[in-house]
């Protein structure tokens, strides 16, 4: 790792930190240290840095705004690449918006609504980045990213950049083929529809208010923990199991919405994993339902 750091400095890359606690970079406020934490200031710096990482066969993980991810208590023995402000550009050409992966999805939804463009009202309360939203096809209120995306700029494991059309990204419920091919979303282009600004903002605020009133956004959490086993809903299943308020250590099933596990104070990744396993076992034994997680666990179990 020292050799990598030395090469980074030689290349003029100095925004790296050793043993950075990842709990400072996740919405759950959980996670041990990254052996090396690297936040590129540009796409070029990301490409250069990743090339050096891969040259040394060092494991790496791309992190956005830290929602929908659970990092191991032991941390990560490799490089965490933070896709942040250096990759948060916004460009508009009429109805086409090209947005960097580090851009806040909530901020984007707010800005385009003020401009009078419709299509992102569903995202008003989704606490992630544009890159993460593309990666997992984030959605709410019967809409998702795939409905407005035209193409995405993907950095593939070989270090090459490609614009990939929506139909070639393999979108499905809370997933894309980026999970399998290891690609990183660098930017996304959305096609939005010009409309009535007042009505668009009303819809956005309605969705924000709904999420605020029904979900525990004042508590550290990751978003929804489980995918809905459609046509059933994960929150309803967990509530019917009598698990609202159930706790393991500092991890607790939210009293407000059962498909959220909150960090009630000092929660560890192991606490969360134990609580997830308990929910999965009870749902399978009582209802025969397999509860698949929406949250991504990173590290050794």
DSSP designation for 61: E
* pLDDT tens digit sequence for 142-191: 899 999 999 999 998 888 899 999 999 999 988 899 988 889 999 999 99
CB neighbour list of residue 55: distance below 8 Å, 6 or more residues apart: none
Please state, as a whole number, how many other Cβ atoms lie within 10 Å of the Cβ of residue 179. Answer: 12
Residue in 118, 176, 224, 254 annotated catalytic: 224
Average pLDDT, the chain: 95
Q: What percent of the chain stands above pLDDT 70?
A: 100
Rounded distance between C-alpha atoms, residue 149 and residue 188, angstroms = 7
Structural domains present in the chain: 2-82 (3.30.43.10), 88-214 (3.30.465.10), 234-298 (3.90.78.10)
The single residue of 95, 174, 246, 296 carrying the catalytic annotation is 174
pLDDT at 301 over 70: no
* Assigned token pair, 181: 């091919």
Is 294 annotated in the active site? yes
Which backbone phi and psi does 201 adopt, to 5 degrees? -70, -35
Q: Closest Cα to residue 171, out of 195, 157, 188?
A: 188
Residue 176 among the catalytic residues: no
Helices (H) and strands (E) in the chain, counts: 8, 18
pTM of the model as a whole = 0.91
pLDDT at residue 185 in the model: 96
Per DSSP, helices labelled H in the chain are 2-10, 43-55, 105-114, 130-136, 178-181, 197-214, 234-240, 269-287
Are the C-beta atoms of 139 and 145 separated by less than 8 Å? yes
How far is Cα of residue 79 from the mean position of the Cα atoms in its chain?
Answer: 18
Catalytic residue check, 42: no
Kindly indicate the confidence band of residue 272, based on its pLDDT and cuts at 50, 70 and 90.
very high
CA–CA separation, 41 vs 50, rounded Å? 13
Q: List, for residues 178-199, the tens digit of each pLDDT value.
A: 988 889 999 999 999 999 999 9
| pLDDT of res. 217 | 85
Q: How far apart are the first and last CA of the chain?
A: 23
- Percent of the chain surpassing pLDDT 90: 89
In 3D, which of 222, 269, 258, 23 has the Cα closest to residue 126? 222
Residue 74's contacts (CB-CB under 8 Å, 6 or more residues apart) are 32, 299, 300
């Amino acid at each position: 790792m020292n050799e990598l750091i030395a090469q980074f400095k030689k290349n003029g890359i100095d925004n790296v930190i050793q043993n950075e606690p990842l709990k400072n970079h996740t919405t759950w406020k959980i996670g041990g240290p990254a052996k090396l934490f690297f936040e590129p200031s540009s796409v070029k710096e990301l490409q250069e840095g990743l090339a050096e990482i891969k040259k040394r066969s060092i494991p790496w993980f791309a992190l956005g705004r830290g929602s929908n991810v659970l990092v191991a208590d032991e941390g990560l023995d490799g490089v965490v690449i933070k896709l942040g402000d250096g990759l948060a550009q916004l460009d508009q050409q009429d109805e086409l918006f090209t947005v960097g992966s580090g851009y806040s999805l909530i901020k984007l939804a707010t800005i385009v609504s003020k401009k009078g463009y419709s299509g992102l009202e569903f995202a008003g309360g989704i606490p992630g980045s544009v890159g993460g939203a593309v990666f997992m096809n984030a959605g709410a209120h019967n809409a998702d990213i795939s409905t407005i995306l035209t193409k995405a700029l993907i950095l593939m494991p070989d270090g090459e950049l490609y614009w990939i059309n929506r139909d070639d990204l393999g979108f499905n419920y809370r997933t894309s083929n980026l999970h399998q091919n290891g690609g990183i979303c660098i930017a996304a282009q959305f096609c939005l529809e010009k409309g009535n600004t007042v009505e668009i903002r009303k819809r956005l605020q309605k969705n924000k208010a709904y999420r605020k009133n029904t979900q525990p956004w004042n508590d550290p959490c990751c978003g929804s923990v489980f995918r809905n086993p459609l046509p059933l809903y994960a929150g309803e299943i967990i509530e019917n199991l009598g698990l609202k308020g159930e706790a393991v250590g500092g991890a607790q099933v939210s009293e407000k919405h059962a498909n959220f596990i909150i960090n009630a104070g000092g929660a560890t990744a192991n606490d969360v994993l134990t609580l997830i396993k308990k929910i999965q076992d009870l749902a399978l034994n009582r209802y025969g339902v397999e509860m698949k997680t929406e949250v991504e666990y990173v590290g050794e179990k």
